[in-house]
Structure 1
Amino acid sequence: MFRKKKNQELDLTQKEPCAGERRKFLAGEAVFFSPKPMPAYHLKSEDTVPSSEILEVNDAYMDIGVRCQGKAFQVQFGLVSINAVSFVALLILTHAGFFYGGPFLDAFLRAFNEIVFGISIVYLLLAGIVWFVIIKTSFEYARQRPIRFHRQRREICYYPDGRTTPVIAPWEQIVSWVALSRGTTGTNVMTTYTFGMAIPTPDGKDYWLLRQPVYSVGEAQRKWETMRSYMDEPQKNWPRSLPFIKEDRAMFDAERERIWAKFKKGPRKWLSFKFTDPADSYFTLFCYYFYHILSCWKIPYLVSEWTDSLNKKPLPENINEWSQPLPKNEWQQPSEALLTQRTAIKKHYEAGGNLTNFLQTKH
């Protein structure tokens, strides 16, 4: 989900930021959402949107992370690329068989002997690159552990720098921001946006930094509100998790049976280019099967299942215990400073203000 960086651009250790602060750095500026955790905009219950980053959410905790999504397509794309080389080589050999003249089989074998070594080298090179990328990205996915937000304890659990030992940090001490960086290509000025979080180390002297590229300030605000609304808002304002379709062999079989049943039901055309609906014609159905044959049928889904299983490591026993719900009388409450500031910023939003001018107008 995030790319980890050292605390270089934003000097958080020398001067702790506060919500609403704008801080300039070498290539741009950042606007902070916390600490204390403040809403990024005037929140309404109808503003809550589903998030694909929510892995699990319940009354006690919420997990934010990445799903094993798109792995099957990655494998399909790689296998189609390398198997297309074999298919093109077969077409070349077939053409060469006619070109050489004489009995077709003899000419085909002569052409095969002449180019088989070069084709084999190219195929093995491509296959090695493709499978290296597939396996590398699978293990990178497995090393990414979710961040767990415990609402009742008002703490978060994270795994710094890919370590297996988690660290617990107070929610109200989390630093979050959206950064706008400007650069030039020589002819144009480009603006990039980054959503960032800084989680304090146990000794309180430094931060573990996480940064994720986003398309806009609005996307960064929605990411922040996904976390903050769960931790600080009533249940009606909690974020929702998007339904997750697991990319496995069962999904492939079910989709193939659906397409075949629809094709048999008809009406059937001979030719169409509606590739989003393989059952639309004989041609699109042929392309569907040909594509999956080139991508080795169920192998991409088998790899997806394997990749998904890599990430299902059991949590340490102390984190399982930490994740359990608490009796209501033991729930940690927001600090008075947070409640005071949150009341002030909600009034500020209702008056038409925004986060960036909150510090200038608050009393």
Structure 2
Amino acid sequence: MRKINKAGDTEPLSSGCVTYLASLPLPTETAGCCPYIGELNDTYMDFGLGLPKAFSWQYTFGLPLNAFILFTVLLPLACGLIGLMIGYSASEAWAFIVGVRNELFSLSLGVSLFALALSLLIWFYVHNKYEEIIPTRFNRQRREVCFMPEDYEAPVFVPWESLSAWVIEAQGARPHGVQRQYGMGFGFFYDDRVVSMEFACPALPIAISNWEAIRAYMEYEVHTLKEITDPLDLQGPDDPPHEGMHTFRNARARLHQQIRDKQRGWVYGFFWYLYHVMTFWTLPFWLCEWEVGRVKRMARKALPDAMREWSEPLPKTQWAKPSPELLRLSAKVKALHKRNPRRSITGIFAEVYGTEDTERQQA
């Protein structure tokens, strides 16, 4: 399968379709945001595991705690309320609550501790990947991408404008309804095989946004990690470019200001505090900060010499330039999007290439 797909092309799947965003990386006119970006500077950007997030720690500790509270507090109370509704006296309902709670306490504690241990084992496995993985590196001065496939001894360098990128939409039947799944990927042909990276996304716009973050960096439209990893703008100008205690403090200060300005109500504020109390308050943010520091101190896998030399900055006079075709088609995409902002970007891609084909035939 050597077909080179253009932006806007689609391919059917048994349960969905693949829509291509590149080769020839045209602007998607969305806000780029991607959690998988690690290091970023004026020369290159690393794509892979990204930096640790506080949410992963909130999930690790919050899920077992909330499950324990659900089965030892909320479920017994619900049982007591049902007892009152069917005619129990207050003392009988209370006895029922205590009985249900005593029956579920040991089981809930064991399940919660098991879930916590399993979550920590998963974290340990993922955390150790930082030592093993050589990230995919995007060099915007050379306009090339460096891949280091696991079964290759030497890195593979690919021209940026020849890289294919796609988003995946799929759906399948489940006992409780239809489940939709989305993903984003990019890759290329090399030695008669496809070398690619794919990962799941919660929604199609987020999948497109992940690609846009990469494209915007390569086209000099973004220059800092904050621009593509901090969509809520929780990092101050003097804060480090990762999540931590500073993002929690900034989020709380913004909440208080919004309540004072009548932009948020007390109900929103109550649930904001409740969520963070149920996820161990500032502990996840402190652990995120600790993990970021630990990742930076890790003995990473050594980069191949060719990749290290390729990553060195170039004099500005030697920087590669975008192709005339990319500049021309990008201008057409932006003009069409400005004319009809609600139209799907993949439909705009298809129209741009359609008019190009028509003009070529008439020439």
**Residue 204 of structure 2 is aligned to residue 210 of structure 1:** no
- Structure 2, unaligned stretches of length 5 or more? 77-90, 92-101, 236-240, 254-266, 340-346
Tell me the equivalent position of 1:109.
none
User: 1:59, CA displacement in angstroms?
Assistant: 1.9
Q: What is the rounded CA distance, in whole Å, between the counterparts of 2:268 and 2:212 in structure 1?
A: 42
Tell me the equivalent position of 1:59.
42
Q: CA RMSD in A?
A: 5.0
- Structure 1, unaligned stretches of length 5 or more? 1-12, 92-98, 100-114, 259-271, 279-283
Tell me the equivalent position of 1:356.
350
User: 1:191, CA displacement in angstroms?
Assistant: 5.2
Tell me the equivalent position of 2:126.
140
Tell me the equivalent position of 1:224.
211
Tell me the equivalent position of 1:107.
none
Tell me if the contact between 2:40 and 2:225 (Cα under 8 Å) persists in the aligned partners: no
One-letter amino acid matched to 1:77 = G
Over the matched positions of the two proteins, sequence identity in percent amounts to 21
Q: What is the rounded CA distance, in whole Å, between the counterparts of 1:193 and 1:277 in structure 2?
A: 29
Which structure 2 residues correspond to residues 269-284 of structure 1 after superposition, within 5 A?
274-276=269-271
User: 1:234, CA displacement in angstroms?
Assistant: 5.6
Count of residue pairs the alignment pairs up: 298
Tell me the equivalent position of 2:84.
none
* Higher alpha-carbon Rg: 1
Q: What is the rounded CA distance, in whole Å, between the counterparts of 1:190 and 1:200 in structure 2?
A: 31
Q: TM-score under structure 2 normalisation?
A: 0.61
**Residue 127 of structure 2 is aligned to residue 127 of structure 1:** no
**Residue 234 of structure 2 is aligned to residue 240 of structure 1:** no
Q: Residues 59 and 204 of structure 1: is their aligned pair in 2 closer, same or farther, counting only changes over 3 Å?
A: farther
Tell me if the contact between 1:22 and 1:356 (Cα under 8 Å) persists in the aligned partners: no
Q: What is the rounded CA distance, in whole Å, between the counterparts of 2:350 and 2:185 in structure 1?
A: 17
One-letter amino acid matched to 1:206 = V
Q: What is the rounded CA distance, in whole Å, between the counterparts of 1:273 and 1:340 in structure 2?
A: 49
2:25 to 33, 38, 50: 38
Which structure 2 residues correspond to residues 1-363 of structure 1 after superposition, within 5 A?
13-35=1-23, 37-41=24-28, 43=29, 48=31, 52-65=35-48, 66-69=50-53, 70-78=55-63, 80-81=65-66, 84=69, 123-143=109-129, 146-160=135-149, 167-184=156-173, 192-201=181-190, 203=191, 205-216=193-204, 218-233=205-220, 240-241=227-228, 242=230, 243=235, 244=241, 246-247=243-244, 274-276=269-271, 300=284, 303-305=287-289, 307-309=291-293, 311-312=295-296, 313=298, 314=300, 316-317=302-303, 318=305, 319-334=307-322, 338-344=323-329, 346-347=331-332, 350=335, 354-362=348-356, 363=360
User: 1:129, CA displacement in angstroms?
Assistant: 3.0
Q: Deviations over 1:40-77 (max 9, x none)?
A: 44x5xxx6556555444332112344331113312331
User: 1:127, CA displacement in angstroms?
Assistant: 1.3
One-letter amino acid matched to 1:240 = E
Q: What is the rounded CA distance, in whole Å, between the counterparts of 1:30 and 1:172 in structure 2?
A: 19
Tell me if the contact between 2:146 and 2:155 (Cα under 8 Å) persists in the aligned partners: yes
Tell me if the contact between 1:28 and 1:180 (Cα under 8 Å) persists in the aligned partners: yes
Tell me if the contact between 2:185 and 2:197 (Cα under 8 Å) persists in the aligned partners: yes
Q: Residues 26 and 122 of structure 1: is their aligned pair in 2 closer, same or farther, counting only changes over 3 Å?
A: closer
Tell me if the contact between 1:195 and 1:212 (Cα under 8 Å) persists in the aligned partners: yes
Q: TM-score under structure 1 normalisation?
A: 0.61
One-letter amino acid matched to 1:275 = F
